[in-house]
Structure 1
Amino acid sequence: MKAASRVCLGWALWAAMTASAQAMGPFQVYEQALRNDPEFLGAIEERNAGQENRLIGRAGLLPKLSYSYNKGRNHSKATYLNDQGNRHEDRNYNSYGSTFLLQQPLIDYEAYANYRKGVAQTLFANETFRSKSQELLVRVLTHYTQALFAQDQIDNARAKKKAYEQQSRQNEHMFRQGEGTRTDILEAESRYELATAEEIQAQDEQDAALRELGALIGQPTVDIDQLIPLAPGFNPFALEPGNFSTWHEIALANNPVLASQREALDVARYEVERNRAGHLPKLNAYASVRKMESESGNTYNQRYDTNTIGIEISLPLYSGGGVSASVRQARSNLSQVEYELEGKTRETLIELRRQFNACQSGVSKLRAYQKALTSAEALVVSTRQSILGGERVNLDALNAEQQLYSTRRDLAQTRYDYLLAWTKLHFYAGTLREQDLAKVDEAFVPRAGAQPIHP
């Protein structure tokens, strides 16, 4: 029997260690989101489509080769006029034409502006994709920490319920002994019901966060036991660089949203030039090889083989005012994009400062809440002892318990807020990479018995 017990214990430990090793932290969720998140997969296709703009624009500067062929059956009536009267001749004949045409733009400012616009559109697509790639990192960590914080809230509420339930039983016992009051019992029951409501709310919030995570990795939902929790002894990261002015410069140079807006500005600028080219001449070189037989009444029963090389110039004179209107419209759009870039820059720098401050103050808040938690735990113990000595009353115990659980909640919230602030600081600076999420991932320690998330 002892041998069998040892075997069972060994299997249980092995299963727990295996499940713990396969449980997923934020980085593992991110790896699965790369393959399953619809928003990110759509961003990939958006980038791929944007890559073609450069080639589309370049095509306007390259030679164009075309071929046309026609063949038909003609029924016509020719009339000859002379002094003896008109003479008619019916003609039934076949005709055909075959043409190879090669064209090369020599001077075409519209085609050049369209090419430059295509290059800017390609760069815009690349920066937009870089932004959405970094946004995925933030979304993963946001929903992940929301689910864990909700679990902390659930555990906190259940601990409060247990404490209030014990307090209520104690108050009822004291009431029956004639040492307590009905008010003490009602106070404990009221706190118990409030803790129940908090537990229900936290469960709803956790369900929403887990479903968001499931949507990221292509599953209906995720079980909370599959997520690796934050280590109890989590320590804040070193903030490098430590001054905001450097982060300010980094964000202006690297933020993908601002970079994409600058490319959008180039797109609008070259759209103005493309429309302005409607007033300018175009010069093309061309070469053609043409074969014709009876193509018209003038070439009836005649065949022509013609090779041509030359240039052609076209100069627009008047188009009803459409070109001028298009230029004015494009310039207004350009001004709009300039204002949008200015607004995005201000918004980004404000958020950058907010996250920088949150990182700096988060370190102090964590220390303060950790000390407050130690004091709150000691306060609960001393209050219970004081009640036994007749120095404190039931309400003092309930308040001490409430302060303890509120401090635990605030400490948990501050830890998750710090991780998000550190991540978002790098996001707004435009430097958030997979290595940063991997660093955050190291702050999470697997719990025993966690279940794996299967891809």
Structure 2
Amino acid sequence: MHSRKVNAFITAFFSALIIIPGSGHSLTLQEAVLAASVYDSEISAARNAQRADSQKRLQGFASLLPVVSLNGSYTKQDQPKATYAAGVTRHNYSLNLTQPLFDIAKYAAWKRGDAIANYADVALMLAEQKLITSVAEAYFHVIYQREVLTSAINAKSAYGKQLNQTQVALQVGEGTRLERDEAQANYDRAVADEIAAKNDLEEAGMIFSRLTGRNPDEIQPIALSCVMRFPVSDDFKALQQQAGQHNLQVRAALFQLEQTKADLIAAHGAHLPVVTLQAGYGTNWSKAEDSNILDTVFGTTSKTRSSSIGINVSIPLFAGGSQISQSIEAVRRREQGRDLLEDARRKARQETQSAWLKLKNGQSQYLAEKKALASAKNKVNSTSYGRKVGLRTIIDELNAEQEYYKTLQTLAKVQYDYLNARLKLSMETGELDYSRLAQYRCAADNKTPRLIKQGR
């Protein structure tokens, strides 16, 4: 729960800075999450829900404490024709105390309130984790779609030059119609890809703005080689064990199980006696107006004090079988909670293994795609040279360029998947919080045309 309070403090501290966008300021992932924590209405609702449910702990404990009440009354009686007590004023007060001595139901209410409050804390942490994940995915998606758009623009430019060359060559009789048509097809495809990439980037930006209230143009690119320097454990068994203990879904299921245990205690307690201490002190006044001898005889005017203390015992004998039925229901609910807890642990372990495999495979695939991109670039250069010396045709050069831009987009997708897998692994092991996002502060060189910079 301490990390939640730290996150709340950081959010409050930086909120004044985050909500005022700066004109040329690059927005890091940490800043985007902080902006979302102030802007997003869903996380605000989750905070209010947590504050409300946290009162259950106090309410449950209060049922174990004594109840003290002060009662009083004032009455005036007027009987003009009565032989006595023609006018009587009465007033009284009483101070009463009730203290449960043995009441399993109240103890169970305390335990249940404590479990509900703990679950509320975890529910808020889950909401914060969901917000971090949503913002990070939107942040990464904007970067990825920028990369796709940049690749599409470069491809269209290259294919446009090739199309002009083939048209000129066809006019002077040095080219063929087949080469011109091939270049035209590649150019038209690149134009369509650019339109689709612009639409996808605009949609990704809208999602990011909806979550954070910030301009997606402020997002800074990320150097993946820098992110990869942060180590990830090779022992996925240890990561699975960590997920089984610290995964937030597991912790939520654990506190839900605690609630069912409290309900079971309450159901069993319904078969037991309830012992209560009761004490009271009070005074009664009665005063007759224009009293006579009859008022004196019958005590119309009087003042009495009373005090009492005792123990009340209530023993349940028969309730039509409802209490037995409630006990059976509570046992089944507890077993259901245990099954759900085990299911949450199994899912956490499975998702951790899946994220770990994607992360490790992503590292290998990233290195392989970098080599493939370098090879594709060399092939473009060699094919271009080969066409100049008559060993390759313009169609060969077009195919080489097409393969290069396809590899470029594949590399961008690999980087996007790697970032999401790293985020997913942190979430499943219960480590995803604001401080973890510092790993993504590695900014790429702004001079590079690549929006997700490759390692050098």
TM-score, normalised with respect to structure 1? 0.83
Residue deviations 1:197-222 (CA, integer Å, cap 9, x gap): 322322232223222322333x2x52
Residue deviations 1:70-92 (CA, integer Å, cap 9, x gap): 3445689xxxxxxxxxx999977
* Distance in 1, Cα, partners of 2:164 & 2:240: 58
Residue deviations 1:295-337 (CA, integer Å, cap 9, x gap): xxx9976654211111111122233333333333333333332
* Aligned twin of 1:80: none
RMSD: 2.9
Of the three residues 191, 197, 208, the one matched with 2:192 is 197
- Does residue 207 (structure 1) correspond to residue 202 (structure 2)? The answer is yes
1:113–1:273 CA contact under 8 A, matched in 2: yes
CA 73–191 in structure 1, closer or farther in 2 if over 3 Å, else same = farther
* Distance in 1, Cα, partners of 2:235 & 2:275: 57
CA 51–232 in structure 1, closer or farther in 2 if over 3 Å, else same = closer
* Distance in 2, Cα, partners of 1:231 & 1:346: 34
Mapping 1:282-431, distance limit 5 Å: 282-292=274-284, 303-431=303-431
* Aligned twin of 1:150: 145
CA 300–387 in structure 1, closer or farther in 2 if over 3 Å, else same = farther
SS in 1 for 2:133: helix
* Aligned twin of 1:10: none
State the one-letter code of the partner of 2:358.
A
State the one-letter code of the partner of 1:105.
P
- Does residue 53 (structure 1) correspond to residue 56 (structure 2)? The answer is yes
1:229–1:447 CA contact under 8 A, matched in 2: no
1:423–1:436 CA contact under 8 A, matched in 2: no
Amino-acid identity (%): 26
* Distance in 1, Cα, partners of 2:281 & 2:446: 76
SS in 2 for 1:67: strand
State the one-letter code of the partner of 2:248.
P
Q: CA deviation at 1:106?
A: 0.6
CA 378–446 in structure 1, closer or farther in 2 if over 3 Å, else same = closer
* Distance in 1, Cα, partners of 2:27 & 2:223: 14
SS in 2 for 1:29: helix
* Distance in 1, Cα, partners of 2:87 & 2:331: 59
State the one-letter code of the partner of 1:401.
E
* Distance in 1, Cα, partners of 2:105 & 2:93: 30
Question: Which deviates the most, 56-65 or 267-276?
Answer: 267-276
* Aligned twin of 2:69: 66
Q: CA deviation at 1:169?
A: 1.2
State the one-letter code of the partner of 2:391.
E
* Aligned twin of 1:179: 174
Of the three residues 244, 248, 251, the one matched with 1:259 is 251
Question: Which deviates the most, 183-192 or 257-266?
Answer: 183-192
Of the three residues 231, 237, 242, the one matched with 1:245 is 237
Residue deviations 1:12-41 (CA, integer Å, cap 9, x gap): xxxxxx965x32111121222232222222
* Aligned twin of 1:33: 36
Of the three residues 103, 107, 110, the one matched with 2:105 is 110
Q: CA deviation at 1:238?
A: 4.3
Q: 5+ unaligned residues in a row in structure 1: which ranges?
A: 1-17, 77-86, 449-455
* Aligned twin of 2:292: none
Q: CA deviation at 1:245?
A: 1.3
Q: CA deviation at 1:184?
A: 2.8
TM-score, normalised with respect to structure 2? 0.83
Q: CA deviation at 1:273?
A: 1.4
* Distance in 2, Cα, partners of 1:63 & 1:235: 58
Question: Which deviates the most, 423-432 or 321-330?
Answer: 321-330
Paired residues in the alignment total: 417
State the one-letter code of the partner of 1:35.
V
* Aligned twin of 1:281: 273
* Distance in 2, Cα, partners of 1:206 & 1:382: 33
State the one-letter code of the partner of 1:222.
N
* Distance in 1, Cα, partners of 2:114 & 2:69: 26
CA 203–91 in structure 1, closer or farther in 2 if over 3 Å, else same = farther
Question: Which deviates the most, 270-279 or 153-162?
Answer: 270-279
State the one-letter code of the partner of 2:100.
P
Q: CA deviation at 1:143?
A: 0.8
State the one-letter code of the partner of 1:142.
E
1:284–1:313 CA contact under 8 A, matched in 2: yes
* Distance in 2, Cα, partners of 1:330 & 1:96: 49
Q: CA deviation at 1:177?
A: 2.1
CA 303–198 in structure 1, closer or farther in 2 if over 3 Å, else same = farther
State the one-letter code of the partner of 2:234.
G
* Distance in 2, Cα, partners of 1:231 & 1:403: 24
